[in-house]
Structure 1
Amino acid sequence: MRAIGVRPEEKQVAIIDHDHPEITAPTQVKVQSLDVGICGTDREICTFVYGAPPEGADYLVLGHESLGKVVEVGTDVKELEVGDLVVPSVRRPCYEDTCRPCAIDRQDFCQTENFVERGIKRDHGYMTEFWVEYEKHLNLVPAELRDYAVLAEPLTIAEKAVDQVWQIQKRLPWQNEEPGKKPGEGLNAVVLGAGPIGILGAMKLVVEGFKTYVYTRSPAPNPKSEIVEAIGAEYISNTQVSTEELAKHIGSIDLVYEGLGVAKVSFDVLMHLGLNGIFCFTGIPAPGDKIDIPGNDLMRNVVLKNQIIIGTVNADKSAFQNAITDLGEFKQRWPDALDGIISGRHLPDNFEELLVGKPGGIKHVISFDN
C-alpha cells in the first residue's frame, strides 16, 4: 500500500510501501483516505529537524490533517458505520499514572510530554491509502462538508484558543453572556498571519462577533487579502503599516490571535495590546537568531493593563466537533472564500514539490480519492 513518509536516518522523503492495516480491536474503525492537508509541520519534518517514527520502524508516515471514509467497523463500534465521513484527531494519551489530563482524554494538556501524535511523533500518520483508528478518536462529518472537512484540524487551533479566551476573560466582571448578543461584539481582534491558521482563525473570530483585522506581510491585492475582505475582516500589510500605526488605526486591541510563528512581529504587536486584553500564541518559530524585546515595558503593560498572555497547542474532541460545526457556518456565509483556502488538490505522486518545494498558495491537499 502506498504511503508518503520520511526516513530520518537516510534524510529521505519518499513514497513508501506501507503495510495494509487491519482492525485488531473491537472499537477500531478502518478508514479510506480521501484528503490529507499539508502544513508547516509536515514540511519541517521533511527537513528532519523533528519527527519520530514508531518504535522499531525506520520511517514515519506523514499527515495529520485528514478526511476519510469509513470502510469497516469493529464489532463494538457504536456511533459510526460504513460510508460515514470522519476526521481524526492527532494526539494520543501518554497513559502514565501521574498524568491527569491524559486520564480524562485531555491529552492536549499532557503533563509528561510523552504523548504520541499521528504523523508527527511515534505513530504513523494519515498520508496513506487506508488507516485504522479507535472510534473515540474519530469525528463524524456531514456529507455536505466533504470538500472542506480537511480544514477541520487546522481550525481546531482557533476553536481551542477562543474557548480558552472566553474562559479566561470571565475574570472581567462585565464579561457576561447577554441573550441575542455575540460574545465578541464591541471588541477588536487582530490576527497575525494570513496562512490557513490565520484565515480560519479570522473566520472564527468574525463569527464570534469581533471586529477583525488580519495583519500580515504581503501587500494587497492578493488571494489571501481577497478572502479576508470577503469575510468582512480588514487586511493590513506590515510592510505598509507599522505596529504603532496599526494600534492607532484600531484603537483598543482586545485580542491578538497569533498564527504567524514569527517572534519579532508578535512581540512588536504585543506591545500594543489594549487594557484587559489577551494575547494568544499558536505559532512555533523555527530555530534562529535571538531577538531583542523591551522586557521592562512588556512586563509593565501586563501588570498595569491587566493583560493575559497564553499559548495553546493541539485540541480536544470538543474543538474538533466545534470546528466541523463552524465549517458548516463558514460554508453558508462565505462559500467562495472557503473554496479559496484550498489552493489545489494533488495526486500523491506530486508529494515532493508540495513537501520540499515551494508550492505557494494557502492550503495544498493530497487526494487519495482518485
Structure 2
Amino acid sequence: MKAVVIKNGTDKQYVTVTDIPAPEAIGPDQVLIRVLSVGLDGTDREIVQDRYGVLPEGAEQMIIGHELLGTIERAGEASGFSPGQLVTALVRRPCGDPACLPCGSGQQDFCETARYTERGIRAADGFLCEYVVEQASYVVLLPDDCAPYGVLVEPQSIVEKVWNQVALIQQRVRWVPRTALITGSGPLGILTALTSRSLGLETHVWSRSGSDSVNAEFVRRCGAHYHEAGESDRPDLDAAGGEAKLFAGGMDEFVSGLGIRPDMIWECSGHTPLTFEAMKLLAPNGVLAVLGVTSGRGRMNIPCDVLNQEIVLKNKCIIGSVNASRHDFETAIRRLQTIEASFPGLLTGLLTQKLGIEQVPNLDFSKITVKAVVEMAPPVSDKRMTASK
C-alpha cells in the first residue's frame, strides 16, 4: 500500500511516498481502518518542510499524519466495533511509566515524563497510508453525518480541551464570559472563533491575514469580528538585539481601541510576544489559552513586574493545550455538529485544498488557503452510493 513516510537520509531526514506491506492480521481488541482522509497542520509542515520527526527507536522511517478520518474495514471480536463505521483515533499514547498518574488514567495528554509517543509525530507510525491497525481503546466513533468534516475532529479536540479545563478552573468564581479575543486566523483560530460564537460570545479575531482574505470571510460568516493587524502592530524581533519589546502599541492599542477587556484570549498564532501581551489585556478573572507553539527564535524584553501584578492581583489564569483525550474528542464531535447546524457548510468550506498522496512530499504549505486534506479514498457517502449500484 502507499504511505507517506519520513526517512533517515545520508545527511538529513526527508519525506517521500513509498510502498509498504498492507496490514493483515489484527488482534481481538484491534480494528483495521481504511483511511479516507488525513488533515495537515503546522506540525506536518514542520515534518515535511523542516524535516522534523522523531522516528521509532531503531527504525529508518515513520509514517506521518495524525488527523485521521476512516472507516472500519475489519473489527476484532472484542473490539466493540463493526465494519463500515466512521471513526477517528487519538494521537498520543501513554508513556507506560507506572508512576505517571495521568497516563495511567487515560490522560496521556498530561503526561509527566515526556516519554509519550504520538502517531505520525513522535516514535509511532501515523495515518497517512491506505490502511491502519489500531487498538480499539484509542478509536473514537463518529456519526455518519460528520463524514464531510470529520477530519476536523482532532484539531477541534484541542479547542475542546481548553473549554473542558476552563469549566473546572472557573469553579473558583462566579464567571460568565461574554467576550473572546483570538489571535491568528489559521485553522485553529477559525475553529476557536466558531466555537466561541456557538457559545454566544462576542468574538474578535486579530490576524495579519488581509481583511479581504478567505480566512477573514470565514470569521465574519459566523458572526465574529475580523481585524487585520498591520505590519507594525505585531511586536517582532529587532535586527540588532534580537529582542521583542512589548506593550509598545500593536495589540495593546488595538484592544484599547475596541473598548473591551476580553474574558478569554486564545493565542493561536504561535507568535510568542502575543502571549505576553495578552496577559496584560485579559479581564480580571479571565483565562488566556495558548494553542500556538513558538518558533523558538530570539529573546524578549518582558516587563515581568507588570505581568506579575496583572496575574496575581486580578486572578488571571493561563493554560496551554496540546493533543487531547477521548473525552475531548467526543466533545469535539458534538461541538462540530452544533457548529454545522448553526453555520451550514462553513466547516466543509475550511477544507480549502484537497490533495492526493503524491503531492505531500513537495507541498508548499505557504500556498494553503486555510486547511489542506489528503484524500486517500472516496468519501463515505460516495463509496456507499457506488456500492449500491
- Whether TM-score is above 0.5 comes out as yes
Alignment partner, residue 295 of structure 1: 304
Alignment partner, residue 195 of structure 2: 204
The one-letter amino acid of 1:218's match is S
Task: Give 1:72's match in structure 2, choosing from 59, 71, 74.
Answer: 74
1:7 aligns with 2:7: yes
Q: How does 1:27-176 map to 2 (within 5 A)?
A: 27-48=29-50, 50-78=52-80, 80-172=81-173, 174-175=174-175
Distance 2:267 2:8 in 1: 30
How much has 1:7 moved relative to structure 2?
Answer: 1.0
> What are structure 2's unaligned runs of at least 5 residues?
234-249, 379-389
Distance 2:49 2:361 in 1: 12
- Return the TM-score normalized by structure 1: 0.93
How much has 1:49 moved relative to structure 2?
Answer: 5.9
How much has 1:48 moved relative to structure 2?
Answer: 4.8
Q: Percent identity?
A: 33
- Return the TM-score normalized by structure 2: 0.88
Q: Deviations over 1:122-169 (max 9, x none)?
A: 110000000010111111111111110000100011100111112111
Partner-residue secondary structure (3-state), 1:244: helix
Q: Which moved more, 1:190-199 or 1:261-270?
A: 261-270
Distance 1:285 1:323 in 2: 25
Contact 2:54/2:123, CA 8 A, preserved across alignment: yes
Contact 1:4/1:61, CA 8 A, preserved across alignment: yes
- Number of equivalent positions: 358
Distance 1:267 1:239 in 2: 19
Partner-residue secondary structure (3-state), 1:5: strand
Alignment partner, residue 179 of structure 1: none
Alignment partner, residue 364 of structure 1: 372
Distance 1:141 1:357 in 2: 28
Task: Give 2:317's match in structure 1, choosing from 308, 321, 330.
Answer: 308
How much has 1:25 moved relative to structure 2?
Answer: 1.9
Task: Give 1:193's match in structure 2, choosing from 163, 184, 190.
Answer: 184
Distance 1:288 1:326 in 2: 35
The one-letter amino acid of 1:93's match is P
Distance 2:183 2:25 in 1: 42
| 1:237/1:198 CA distance change after superposition, 3 Å | same
1:22 aligns with 2:34: no
How much has 1:304 moved relative to structure 2?
Answer: 1.6
Distance 1:287 1:342 in 2: 29
Q: Which moved more, 1:302-311 or 1:68-77?
A: 302-311
Distance 2:132 2:321 in 1: 28
The one-letter amino acid of 2:311's match is V
Distance 1:136 1:328 in 2: 23
| 1:49/1:12 CA distance change after superposition, 3 Å | closer
Task: Give 2:361's match in structure 1, choosing from 347, 352, 369.
Answer: 352
Q: Deviations over 1:210-236 (max 9, x none)?
A: 211111112302111111011111111
Contact 2:279/2:310, CA 8 A, preserved across alignment: no
Distance 1:227 1:357 in 2: 20
How much has 1:325 moved relative to structure 2?
Answer: 1.0
Distance 1:165 1:134 in 2: 30
Contact 1:188/1:253, CA 8 A, preserved across alignment: yes
Q: Deviations over 1:242-266 (max 9, x none)?
A: 3233322142211111111111223
Alignment partner, residue 210 of structure 2: 219
| 1:218/1:209 CA distance change after superposition, 3 Å | same
Distance 1:15 1:49 in 2: 14
Distance 1:53 1:335 in 2: 40
Distance 1:309 1:335 in 2: 33
1:236 aligns with 2:245: no
Distance 2:350 2:275 in 1: 23
Distance 2:365 2:180 in 1: 33
Q: Which moved more, 1:199-208 or 1:41-50?
A: 41-50
How much has 1:47 moved relative to structure 2?
Answer: 4.1
Distance 1:282 1:291 in 2: 19
Distance 1:48 1:337 in 2: 31
Distance 1:188 1:151 in 2: 25
| 1:206/1:250 CA distance change after superposition, 3 Å | farther
Distance 1:254 1:367 in 2: 39
| 1:219/1:193 CA distance change after superposition, 3 Å | same
The one-letter amino acid of 1:30's match is L
Distance 1:311 1:69 in 2: 32
Contact 2:183/2:205, CA 8 A, preserved across alignment: yes
| 1:100/1:18 CA distance change after superposition, 3 Å | same
Partner-residue secondary structure (3-state), 2:193: helix
